[in-house]
A and B are shown apart, each in its own frame.
Chain A
Amino acid sequence: MSLRKVAVVGAGMTKFVRRAQETGKELAYEAAKMALDSCELKLDDVDGVALGTAPDAFDGVHMKGEYLSDGAGAWRKPFMRSYVGGGTGVFTPIQGWYHVASGLFDVCLVVCEEKMSSCQPHPQGAFLTIFDHTTERPLGPNLLWIFALEMNRYMHMHGLQKKDIALVSVKNKRNAADHPCALLGDPNITVEDVLNSEVLAWPVQRLDVSPVTDGAVALVLAAENVAKRITDKPVWIKGVGWALDTAYWTNRDLYYPKYVEYAARMAYEMAGIREPRKEIHIVEPYDPFDYKELHHLEGLLLADKGEAPRLTAEGVTARTGDMPVCPSGGLLGVGNPIAAAGLMKVAEIFWQLRGEAGKRQVPGKPVTGLAQAWGDLMQVGTVIILGIGG
């Protein structure tokens, strides 16, 4: 059964800042307006709105999808909010995809917003409640624990050192220096800087981590015939995939993200991709911590297990390398407003494939790109594959 083709035809985003003056609604509006303007559409041209935003505890509003709905352009329109933790940013365009591919909509606005800074004294407080209320919360866990536990297991299983991993932070923060919206771009950061940074929860150090951020990103999706009228460079959604592993994370071996592999396989199959390492030209995996980029590259089957650090060290994943990874600067460099961060990666692939990424543009003529997000209790993988031409 051949699926209705859906393209990304416009994109917009706000700066990613530590604490925005704008309310969540305003952030959503700015990104949505920019996305519509970028393809010269008006709100009236939009048939439906898909919103993605992660814990309500950040913005400090229960049912925050409703609160954000008008900022996201959903006044008197069909509106739905999807939510899969950190995976949301890449899931929401998938949600937009099924809106349009269903045949019920021709144009769908996809908006992701996060205003983490509202949560005081520290947005990490919102993550205290991700743990099981009976078997885990009484132990006083914080978010850093699960990253540290996973990072330790990953390093242990592959005999890795911190310096192998710190290279990712350096690469991404340097890449981010060329992103106009970046919060933590730094053209001069070195591995030593990362290794000397404060140990938060060993093996996690301060510069291994992406910052708390506010921001919003939006995309405009359109069905094939409409897309071709709107732009001469539609970027097609070739494949989508998502998978959520068991909640019993302490029953899983954290060294390998099987759920990312499942999501990737689903997307590769839909896109007809048989040799991802050859056929994917740009990769934007989710990098809230530096080791996560490596962990995810392996889960995406773009590197053998334990081999992603070597690819990084050899420059394969640099912007000018054979397989550029996080040319945007990723979450480590641009910032991590959870849901918006994932959508930023999708927007990056969109801009890269159209040759519109300015100083971040990867050389050659990339045709196919992949963006992936991740979240929950080391649990969900969401993958989208975009392609230009054809």
Chain B
Amino acid sequence: MSREVAIIGVGYSGFRALTPDVSYKELMYEAAVKAYDDAGVDPRRDIESFVTVAEDFTEGTSIFDEYVPDQLGAALKPVHTISGEGLHGFIAAYLQILTGAMDIVAVEGHSKASNILTPNDILAYAMDPIYNRPLRANPYFIAGLEMNRYLCETGTTREQCALVVAKNKHNALYNPTAAYGANIGVEDVLQSEMVSYPLSRMDMSLHADGAIVMVLASRERAEELSDSPIWITGVGWCNDSFSLETRDWSGAIYAAKAGEMAYRMAGIRSPWQELDLAEIDDTFSYKELQHMEALRLCRPGEAGPLTEDGATELGGELPVNPSGGSLGVGHLLDASGLARLLEVVLQLRGEAGQRQLPDVETGLAFGWRGLPTTSGAAVILNN
């Protein structure tokens, strides 16, 4: 019988296009203080392990974990970095509590994307140095290839993708933490300049800065410390082929397998019926649709029409990205998955303000690591 683990505290700072007044340490400190207060814990005394999510070239510092313990209250405590999606870090924290060796673990992720002056060069640096980089193409071509194949195979249209942008940016208007809320229409997206056909500029989410900290606890501690613990009922994560030459270009297999693992754990058979909301990576507009299908919320080709019908709106049958997703909130680099999870937590607690969905019990968060990876992680929560 698996141990039960809940989220007992969340804290965040941001999210904005620029955060020039604070260093990353100060951004993290703010999120941590709020999370620990929310959880009712003193990190120096109560938190037994800390997981941080970071990549050296995103920070501009090698061995970035050196710089995290102080602002998380983790000095001289067990701390490690997961170089992965924010949800990978979250799952690592969850696994530690499942072992029984720990009861309270914190996870942190942040973005200071505004401090990166050469983001596309760094993205190119993630590509295979022998087979792909020498082509010297802007890395967004990978998204262009995938979007093209996805549209072709599923019959999804650019208009349907544009509707995702419109929906999410509109949702973001009701989210006080979102950086890019706006009222825009399909035409605005279709007319924005091409970056890598068929991916246009407005199909892409913009970066934002921010930090998110969450505190997880075993059942015994969760019940002591929290009035509204949010239970983790399923997790899944998977990597598909990294190689561009051998990957599936339309299927998002990493999402399918991550979802499969999470649903199995949570005992979910019909996700569309059994989930009340889903916060799914929408780094690019088509990704929300592709991920919906890979996560079996609907069949291939159905996500576009469902979006057209309004089924994924705030008032729809299964709201997708009520927070506004990355398109509306801002893309927080590897912390994006934690931002998706944050929304699920807030919704399940009834703390989502103007965008609160009624009668929600079960939510799914799914994060993708972005280009050029095929790496994703899913978490299912219940209140």
Residues of A whose CB lies within 8 Å of any CB of B are 1-4, 23, 54-57, 60-63, 65-67, 69-70, 74-85, 91, 95, 97-99, 101-104, 126-130, 132-133, 240-248, 258-259, 262-263, 266, 270, 375-377, 379-380
Contact B61 A65 (CB under 8 A): no
**Complex contacts, A126 vs chain B, CB 8 Å:** 62
**Complex contacts, B242 vs chain A, CB 8 Å:** 66-67, 69-70
A134 to B231, CA, bound (A): 41
Q: Is B80 an interface residue (CB 8 A)?
A: yes
Q: Do most interface residues of chain A lie in helix, strand or loop, or is the interface mixed? A: mixed
Q: Is B152 an interface residue (CB 8 A)?
A: no
Who on chain A is nearest to B121 by CB?
A62
**Complex contacts, A259 vs chain B, CB 8 Å:** 76
- 9 shortest interchain CB distances as A-B pairs: A102-B98, A101-B99, A244-B79, A79-B239, A85-B63, A62-B57, A62-B125, A62-B126, A1-B100
Q: Is B176 an interface residue (CB 8 A)?
A: no
A277 to chain B, nearest CB (A): 23
Partner of B82, one of A1, A78, A82, A243: A82
Contact A23 B98 (CB under 8 A): no
Which residue of A62, A63, A104 has the most chain B CB atoms within 10 A of its CB atom? A63
Contact A81 B69 (CB under 8 A): no
Interface stretch, picked from B88-96, B207-215, B275-283, B287-295, is B88-96
**Complex contacts, A61 vs chain B, CB 8 Å:** 125-129
Which residue of A70, A78, A132, A380 has the most chain B CB atoms within 10 A of its CB atom? A78
Q: Is B366 an interface residue (CB 8 A)?
A: no
Known pairs A63-B126, A247-B67; list 10 more (Cβ under 8 Å): A56-B56, A75-B239, A81-B84, A83-B83, A101-B99, A101-B101, A129-B62, A242-B79, A245-B75, A258-B76
**Complex contacts, A4 vs chain B, CB 8 Å:** 99-100
Q: Is B243 an interface residue (CB 8 A)?
A: yes
A88 to B69, CA, bound (A): 16
Contact B96 A66 (CB under 8 A): no
Contact B62 A80 (CB under 8 A): no
Number of interface residues of B (CB under 8 A): 61
Contact B80 A242 (CB under 8 A): yes
Contact B100 A3 (CB under 8 A): yes
**Complex contacts, B243 vs chain A, CB 8 Å:** 70
A57 to B75, CA, bound (A): 26
Contact B61 A60 (CB under 8 A): no
**Complex contacts, B241 vs chain A, CB 8 Å:** 70, 75-76
Partner of A63, one of B62, B77, B237, B373: B373
**Complex contacts, B57 vs chain A, CB 8 Å:** 56-57, 62-63
Contact B125 A98 (CB under 8 A): no
The interface bits of chain B over 235-262 (1 if a CB of A lies within 8 angstroms of the residue's CB, else 0) are 1111111110000000001000110010
Partner of A130, one of B61, B258, B373: B61
A361 to chain B, nearest CB (A): 32
Q: Is B60 an interface residue (CB 8 A)?
A: yes
From 301 to 331 in chain B, residues with beta carbon under 8 angstroms from any chain A beta carbon are none
Who on chain A is nearest to B56 by CB?
A56
Contact B69 A76 (CB under 8 A): no
Task: Tell whether A56 pairs with B101 under 8 Å between CB atoms, given A79-B239, A129-B61.
Answer: no
A3 to B99, CA, bound (A): 6
A95 to B93, CA, bound (A): 11
Contact B238 A77 (CB under 8 A): yes
Contact A243 B62 (CB under 8 A): no
A300 to B82, CA, bound (A): 26
30 pairs across A/B with beta carbons < 8 Å? A1-B100, A2-B100, A23-B130, A54-B63, A57-B56, A57-B62, A62-B58, A62-B125, A63-B126, A65-B83, A67-B126, A74-B239, A76-B238, A79-B237, A80-B91, A82-B82, A83-B63, A83-B81, A83-B83, A84-B80, A85-B66, A98-B95, A98-B96, A98-B101, A243-B76, A244-B69, A245-B75, A246-B69, A259-B76, A266-B78
